[in-house]
Structure 1
Amino acid sequence: MDIILCDELLQEIFHRLPPPSSSAVSLVSKRWRHLLHSSLSSLTLRLFPNHPALPSLSSFLSRYTYLYSLSLSSSSSSAATTTAFSDSLLISISSACPNLTHLRLSTGPVSLFPLLSLSTSCPHLSSLSFILSRPLVSLHFLSSFRSLKFLTLILVGNGSPDSISDHYTSSTELKLESLCLSGICAGDYELNWLWNNCSYKTLSKLVFENCEGVGDNQSFASFIHRLNNLHEVELKTCRSIIALILLKLAENRSDSLSSLLIYDGGSKEGLLHFIRETNCNLQKLDLRLPLDLDDSHLHEIGAKFNQLNILRLQSCCMVTGEGLKSLGLALSDNLEELALTNCDVIKRQNGFLVDLAQNLRNIKTLDLSYNHMLLDKEFASMISSYNNLRTLKLRGCSRLTNASLISLCKNCKHLESIDMVYCHGIQVEGVEFVILNSPELRNVQVEDRKVSEIARRWMRNKFIEVQP
């Protein structure tokens, strides 16, 4: 076989092999190992600081001729992943991977010189994720990455933030499409370089995670006001700045924003103001606000965003069944994906899901994960309304039994994917029943011990993928 098959055909076969098999390819022969290395375009490595093989990392990476995407992380604690360690990795990458377009370096903070070297050695980098430590170096070096479109910047450390606002404008505009910032503090004024030099025409996604500031508020406000192509905003654990961001988003008169995500820390009044005053028409809304979302928000969402396609609510304890039902009625014509994860209303109000389902007959994706009080009777009555369902997530619904799966197969003939992990009441027979009686099923997530040999044969014959 090694002689008969040409290089191109072998590489095509390698691409189609599942991960457990592909890892053994390099053991067959030197030719196969060389072809495997030369054909891989993406690589993820977990490294050990001070490992004796690290000095030869550059030589190792140079074997992967067509490597375009690289992700490096460290297996050690943050104390061991020093700047010197990350810098040495970055220098190795610069010398060995000139064709890189995507790089994620999460081993620890890096310094300025290796980043400048990277920008010169890898001119095609379009996606870059790295860590900087305080006190901040100037961010002017980012203009050296001429192809950069996706930037993730993580700040760490307790160094004193800069006290002078940086209003320097680069001669080269940073044409980012996505900007993700993590760990920003109130005094990180070097961040203003981004607000002054990012193109307001190209940026379509903005993410803040674990942030307590935005640099200079005036520079940030001016930046947000100019954005006219912003489609997605994500705010995760940013309680101290979320009111400011929502206020400035509401003042932006562009109608381009279509997706908003807010997790773990909100502003009740700020969210209400945004919903009422924004000029956008959201298509996707994802909220995890246990104490900052109530029925007043749901009523305003239903009145303002009646074109919503995707609604995800997680651990929202202050909303009621009546509020959710009124929202469902307002969104009945367009909503195709609904997530009610760890929904406290299901515990408090029996039959609520049945009433809600009667107004949402266009749902194709339904996520009811971690609703431990959901019972077979309510599930069976609810699922009869979801005849167009394609994807169902029941992870952690521990009280459901095989009886629920019988109702599911009876009503949802187009089911393509189901997640049943941690559903302790669902047993081997129920998994077999779903696999046999779902003609369009292609993906099953369930514990391996619940998949019988009979079920495995059916899955092979029907090309169904199983995941733990």
Structure 2
Amino acid sequence: MDSLLCDELLQEIFHRLRPPSHAAVSLVSKRWHRLLRSSTTSLSLYLPPPYDPTTIASLSSFLSQHPFLDNLSIATSPLAVVGDNLLLSVSASCPKLRSLRYLTNPLSPFSLVVISTSCARLSSISIALSRPLSLRWLRFFSGLKCLSLYITNAASELEASGVEEKIDAFDVEFCLENLSLSGIVSEDRGLGLLWRNCKNIRKLHLQSCASLGDYASVSGFVKILKGLRELELRACRSIVDGVLLKVAEHCVSLDSLLIYDGGSQEGLMHFINHSKCNLRRLDLRLPLDLDNTHLIALTENLNFRGLVSLRLESCCLVTGDGLKVLARTVGVKLEELALVNCDVVERESGLLTALGQDLKRLRKLDLSFNETMVDKELTLMLASCSFLIELKLRGCHGLTDKSAASMVRSCENLQIVDITCCGIEMEGVELLVLKSKRLRQLEVESNRLSDTARISASSKYIELVS
């Protein structure tokens, strides 16, 4: 049989296999092992110590056996400072690389310049840098579309705040579309190089940032907002209000906004009232100051009437009245609703029923970690949500097998269900697998899967995620 299959056909088969099957394929024969490596396009590696020249040479030899590799993620021990040596090895062995991720140790500008020359196709890199920041190497990556920078050392380790870069001579327009920064503080100089020259940014992600850089850098921040479509602010409490102020004033293209742990009541209200964006996706997680006034303000801004996705997590000040007003206003178009760990779901009886009647076009519903939510509340809501294709009930301990029966009865289009750490027992899980017509993925603990459910899931090509 092995001799009947040509190399090209085997490689095409290997391309279609899921990664867990690769280990078995490599044991069939030396030929299959060689063809598997030559057809592999993505690798995720962990290199254990020791990190001596032999290890680096072995990595280079291993990577050279994957001539079509275009996506590489490497991790090492955080105590070993070997990032530059690894990067030089990658640059010599992976000329077709398009995506690189290495966050364990900070890399030097020299090694980044080297890989920009050797791997000219690189379009996405996720790397760690140390202070003082130097971003001059960016001008060598002409095709870079996605950039993620993680600052590793503390601001107190900055030597006399670093030497200020003379960046004006290096200004060049970058092609970046996705930009992610983590750990920026007010002492970080030179970020103006990014703000001034990234005019094509579509997605901006800031995480654990206390600033947008030093004063000279901040002044150029508004230049990236013109075409911005997605904004994520995670654990950036000290700058959220300032960023939202600038977005409301200068950005008209924003489509998606995510705020996790940050923002004041006044800052969020100012954005809602003055934003000119036709926002379609709003995700607020741990917004401690969010209350009904914000939800009602959302309904009064005509630019937000096209909202298709609303995700709220741990919103302790929101009540049913605010959610009902919002549902009546945007219910015609809303396709995704998440009320994760929102005690209003458990506190106000009949809320889910009322929401279901106004949100009949829902396709995705996430009610995870509402621990005391009962079957009756969920069942009455699902009766109105016949278009659901995705339902997440992770951590809802108050539910029973009755909820599984209501899913089968009311939601014939369900494709993805998450009932991990949920009160639904083995019989309810089996009912879901046997009776759901379009189910394609089920997340549930393995000890709640009967043999009958496993066999049926396999025959119906349902992916079981434990």
Q: TM-score range by the shorter chain?
A: over 0.9
* Shift, 1:217, TM fit: 4.5
The one of 224, 247, 250 equivalent to 2:248 is 250
The superposition leaves residues 383-419 of structure 1 with CA deviations (integer Å, 9 ceiling, x where unpaired) of 1111111100011111111011111111111111101
2:311 corresponds to: 312
Instruction: Tell me how far 1:170 sits from its aligned partner.
Output: 2.7
Structure 1 residue 262 and structure 2 residue 259: aligned? yes
CA distance in 2, matches of 1:206, 1:316: 24
Q: Name the residue aligned to 2:236.
A: 238
TM-score of the two chains, using structure 1 as the length reference: 0.94
**Equivalences for residues 137-176 of structure 1 within 5 A:** 138-158=134-154, 159-160=157-158, 161-162=161-162, 164=164, 168-170=168-170, 172-176=172-176
Aligned to 1:385: 384
Deviation at 1:226, TM superposition (A): 5.6
Q: Residue 190 of structure 1: SS of its match in structure 2?
A: coil
Q: What is the aligned partner in structure 1 of residue 337 from structure 2? A: 338
| Equivalent AA in structure 2 for residue 148 of structure 1 | L
Letter in 1 for 2:352: L
**For residues 171 and 215 of structure 2, what CA distance do their matches in structure 1 show?**
23
8 Å Cα contact 1:221-1:248 kept in structure 2: no
Deviations 1:38-89, CA, capped at 9 Å, x for gaps: 1010110122232563431111101001000001122x3x3x132xx11111
Q: Deviations over 1:195-243 (max 9, x none)?
A: 1222x1x211111000001013464343324632110000000011111
User: 1:273, 1:165 → 2: CA distance?
Assistant: 36
C-alpha separation between the residues in 1 aligned to 2:49 and 2:297?
Answer: 52
- 8 Å CA contact 1:128–1:150 kept in 2: the answer is yes
Identity percentage over the alignment? 49
Contact 2:191-2:217 within 8 A present in 1 as well? no
SS of 2:170's partner is coil
Aligned to 1:86: 83
Instruction: State the partner residue of 1:216.
Output: 214
Shift of 1:277: 1.0
SS in 1 for 2:191: helix
Q: Which deviates further from its counterpart, 19-28 or 316-325?
A: 19-28
* 1:410-445 CA distance string (max 9 Å, x none): 11111111011111x211111111112111111111
Kindly indicate whether the alpha-carbon contact (under 8 Å) linking 2:56 and 2:89 is maintained by their aligned counterparts in 1. Answer: no
Aligned to 1:371: 370
Shift of 1:163: 7.3
Contact conserved, 1:374 with 1:400, CA < 8 A, in 2?
yes
TM-score by length of 2: 0.95
Is the contact between residue 225 and residue 248 of structure 1 (CA under 8 Å) also seen in structure 2?
no
Query: How far does the alpha carbon of each residue in 1:172-194 deviate from its partner, in whole angstroms, 9 at most, with x for none?
Result: 31110011000001110121221
Match of 2:293 in 1: 296
**Change over 3 Å in CA distance of 1:226–1:65 after alignment to 2:** closer
Contact kept in structure 2, 1:152 and 1:179, CA below 8 Å: yes
Residues 262 and 287 in structure 1, CA contact (< 8 A), matched pair in contact too: yes
**Residue 62 of structure 1: aligned partner:** 64
Q: How does 1:95-134 map to 2 (within 5 A)?
A: 95-134=92-131
387-396 or 20-29: which moved more?
A: 20-29
Is residue 387–residue 413 contact of structure 1 (8 Å, CA) maintained in 2?
yes
- Distance in 1, matches of 2:368 and 2:166, equals 46
Kept in 2, the 8 Å contact 1:290–1:318? The answer is: no
Number of paired residues? Answer: 458
Question: Which stretch shows the higher mean deviation, 225-234 or 159-168?
Answer: 159-168
Matched position secondary structure for 1:373: coil
**1:459 aligns with one of 449, 457, 460:** 457
